[in-house]
Structure 1
Amino acid sequence: MSNRTISFKNIIIKSKANAAGEAPIYVRVNIDGKLSDIATKRQILPERWNSETGAVKGNKEDARSINTKLDEIKAQLWAHYHKLEREEQDITSALLKRRFTNLDKPDHTLTELINIHNKMMNERVGIEFAPGTAKRYSTLAFHVKNFLKLTYKIEDIKLKMLNYQFILDFEHYFKVKRECNHNSTLKYIRNLRKVINLGIRKGWIEKDPFIKFSAKVQEVKREYLTKDDLSLIEGKDISIPRLELVKDIFLFSCYTGLAYIDVYNLTKANLIKGNDDELWIHTQRQKTEAKSHIPLLPIPAQIISKYKNHPECIHSDKLLPIKSNQKMNAYLKELADLCGINKNISFHTARHTFATTVTLTNNVPIESVSAMLGHKSIRTTQHYAKIVDMKVGNDMKALKNILSTGLNG
């Protein structure tokens, strides 16, 4: 920098004066004798301009405002100059002008932004994010690439091209091309929104393409087992070993409320004797990383005892010998058929059953249920309370009909 001639001078150009006679103010950049003029978007009458100081004369409010703005522009120009120095650029007055006016701003792309986002997330797996969370964003990258090919016949898109229509097209892709339901579609869109927010924070996206987009999650029916359904499964003698195992693991989840991945992750170290001298499960939910402390009821305690000498539990230190989620769900459908339960159950049905039939229906306070489920917000647990209230309402309607029939008879 010491070997270069650099100056920033404020000037007015009288020949470009407007109808009111006000001349536009420019900052003249001089680097090694090469000049570039940068418009300040400010005007002043020539008689109020001091060409020697490069400032508006006097102390009027508009003079102070314009002079402050001119000082800010000079400070910004120096900041851009030093940044170009750090980038080891061949700095000219024209390049500095382009940098100041954003004309040389790189055209960042959506794929580039997703890759940066996912790289940061993958590096924080186990520290800040669960592996499943990182996998969801890898899936997002796949779908964005596929969406761009199918919808726009392109490999990538510049971030400055993203707009409200792009978001609508992305929504359409999932609902029509991928045949996703409304809530699944919103999960993908929300993940994209998080990536876009990163681009906004980095200054790569000037206008949020989501600004007009609004969609709410649709409340869905949460399948759960009734007390009678549980009794059918508990009392069913199973002669097929794989189904017997699935039955036991499923019941374990029905009486602990743990999701599949959290049961899968359980080791003997998660079994703790509490202050009440009773056995508890102390774990951390993989999905939310929330702590979950669950008193062990008799049925899950019996199941743990049953499998404590299972080869898989001995060799891997697992608490239970659980199969893959895919196999568990497939075998659960067989189990439901054997028990005569006409419901589309999955492993997650067990968690819903714990929240409703096992706890809330038996007057366990909702705060305790929320803590055992590892919910970060009690509002999540309140969905289950609504289900219980609906069941009570339906039961009472049935009772009213019975009483009404009896009275009329």
Structure 2
Amino acid sequence: MLKVIFYIKAEKYLNGENPIFSKISYNNKSITLSTGKSISKERWQSTNKLRNVLKIEKEKVLKQSLDLYQLRIEKKFLELYKTDLNVSLIDLKKQIKGKPKLNIKSAGILEIFDKHNLSFKKRVAIGERAPASLQKYNRSKDLVKEFIKNKYNLNDYPVNEINGAFIYNLESFLKYDSKYKYKKGIKNNSVVKYFKNFKTVCNYGIKLELINKNPFDIYDGKITVKDAIYLNQQELDLIENKIFNTERLEKVKDIFLFSCYTGYAPIDACNLTERNLYKDNDGNLWIKTHRTKTSIKANVPVLPPTLRIIEKYRDKQIGLIPKLSNQKMNSYLKEIADVCGIKKNLTWYVARHTFATTITLANGVRIENVSSMLGHTNIKQTQHYAKVLDESVMNDMIKLKNKFL
């Protein structure tokens, strides 16, 4: 429950005395406020923080003032508690200081989306974030807008009125009723990612003090973890050893292999230039960059196959490798898969998965180092790849088995 204690700051002075502050605690959180009152350190200690029987009139008045101050705090707290059991101490502080809780009815979810996406667009313009991420936020806004129009026939919806019914009706709408490019419904993992975007946008609204709390905090949808598609060594060799008759497919093969041996996502691979190449004190060549998606460092040593591709295309374009759209790459990679007899759904991102599994983890590279090269924000992301390496597990167990023969 709410707890209020008073204390003095002995290192500060107010009217020649030490100022009295209040510490307000609730739900393992606390804030401090100045009471505007003061007392000497000696009198504060000798009266046991004004708890003893007081004889000096000034101290009696001071004690009454602090009692009234505490009563005011408790009254304001109860007012907020009636509308929300999880009282925000920041809101309480504003109430006590005469700054009432913002009327968040004026802030609609689409209004906040507009402000967030405009700010995000500026970050994209200076290279801090990826254009693809902006597209996802714009798509997220369009989905919410479509839902609000479809369900409530409104142009916007007040954030403070978003409740559990709104959120789970929205989830149902996305999964079963939303339409995009002649397709109806969105798969679970994409829905969960959209809700993550909704939550991020509302957190931005909190920072701008447009809203006080995030209604999407109650959403508990989970990503369904699937095994990542990657190429084993035999499949990788099939592509690497294949000579294509057309320059188009040969170029696509090289771009794909470059990502297989560096682990860079398509947008990061295309943005690499000679400036990203770096030779360390031991003469080892590195590619140094930051992931466009997260701005996390992703430095990778240049392996011999990578160097061969870099040398092949050196001075033929601005980047280390030719540029090609993700859409065209994925279309041409399906041709390569057919020609090489590979039955897997080959996309550009399969190259990144192949680097994480076949190139690094399967060859004994420590998972911490793989995580660093992939530019992951935490090692849990990398552990997903480690789970699919049944072949690597079997090889290790065969070695162990031989010791018992």
Provide TM-score, normalisation by structure 2: 0.69
- Pair 211,105 (structure 1): closer, same or farther in 2 beyond 3 Å: closer
Percent of aligned pairs sharing the same letter: 42
The 5 A counterparts of 1:369-384 are 369-384=370-385
Q: Which amino acid aligns with 2:319?
A: K
Once the two structures are TM-superposed, the CA of residue 299 in structure 1 deviates from its matched residue by 1.1
How far is 1:229 from its partner? 0.2
Contact between 1:164 and 1:211, CA under 8 Å: does it hold in 2? no
Residue number among 215, 220, 241 corresponding to 1:235 in the alignment: 241
Looking at structure 1, the residues matched to 122 and 382 of structure 2 have their Cα atoms a distance apart, in angstroms, of 32
Q: How many residues align?
A: 312
1:251 corresponding residue in structure 2: 257
**How many angstroms does 1:100 deviate by?**
7.8
Correspondence for 1:265: 271
Aligned residue in 2 for 1:209:
215
Alignment partner, residue 226 of structure 2? 220
Q: Counterparts in 2 of 1:212-361, with a 5 A limit?
A: 212-310=218-316, 313=317, 317-361=318-362
SS in 1 for 2:350: helix
Q: Is 1:140 matched with 2:146?
A: no
1:391 paired residue number = 391
Q: Whole-Å Cα distance in 2 between the matches of residues 289 and 102 of structure 1?
A: 36
Alpha-carbon deviations, 1:79-138, whole Å to 9, x = none? xxxxxxxxxxxxxxxxxxxx9877977622122111122223333333754433333222
Give ranges in structure 1 of 5+ residues lacking alignment: 1-57, 74-98, 404-409
Find the counterpart in structure 2 of residue 176 from structure 1. 176
Amino acid of the residue matched to residue 368 of structure 1? N
| Correspondences of 1:91-130 after superposition (within 5 Å) | 107-125=106-124, 126=126, 128-130=128-130
For structure 1, which segment, 130-139 or 354-363, has the greater mean C-alpha deviation from structure 2 after superposition?
A: 130-139
Contact 2:174 2:186 in 1 (8 A): yes
Deviations 1:19-39 (A, max 9, x none): xxxxxxxxxxxxxxxxxxxxx
Match of 2:156 in 1: 156
Runs of 5+ consecutive residues of structure 2 not aligned to the other structure: 1-59, 76-97, 179-184
Name the amino acid aligned to 1:122: K
State the match for 2:197 in structure 1: 191
Counterpart position of 1:87? none
Instruction: Tell which structure's C-alpha radius of gyration is larger.
Output: 1
Residue 146 (structure 1) shift: 1.6
Distance 1:353 1:101, change over 3 A: closer
Q: Secondary structure of the residue that 1:291 maps to in structure 2?
A: coil
Distance, in Å, in 1 between the alignment partners of 2:213 and 2:289 is 43
Specify whether residues 128 and 272 from structure 1 end up closer, same or farther in structure 2 by C-alpha distance, changes over 3 A only.
Answer: closer
Deviation at 1:151, TM superposition (A): 2.5
Deviation at 1:208, TM superposition (A): 4.2
- RMSD (Å) for aligned C-alpha atoms: 3.1
Is the contact made by 2:310 and 2:320 (CA closer than 8 Å) also made in structure 1?
Answer: yes
> What is the deviation of 1:364?
1.2
Q: 1:146 to 1:237 in 2, by over 3 A?
A: same
TM-score, normalised relative to structure 1: 0.68
Amino acid of the residue matched to residue 151 of structure 1?
A: K
Local SS of the residue matching 2:156: coil
C-alpha separation in 1, matches of 2:73 and 2:282: 70
Shift of residue 243 of structure 1?
0.7
Q: Distance in 1 between matches of 2:100 and 2:286?
A: 63
Q: Tell me, what secondary structure is at the counterpart of 2:299? A: strand
Q: Deviations over 1:300-324 (max 9, x none)?
A: 11111112243xx1xxx21111211
Does the Cα contact within 8 Å between 2:159 and 2:215 map onto a contact in 1?
Answer: no
Closer, same or farther: CA 209–132 of 1 in aligned 2, 3 Å: same
**How many angstroms does 1:196 deviate by?**
2.1
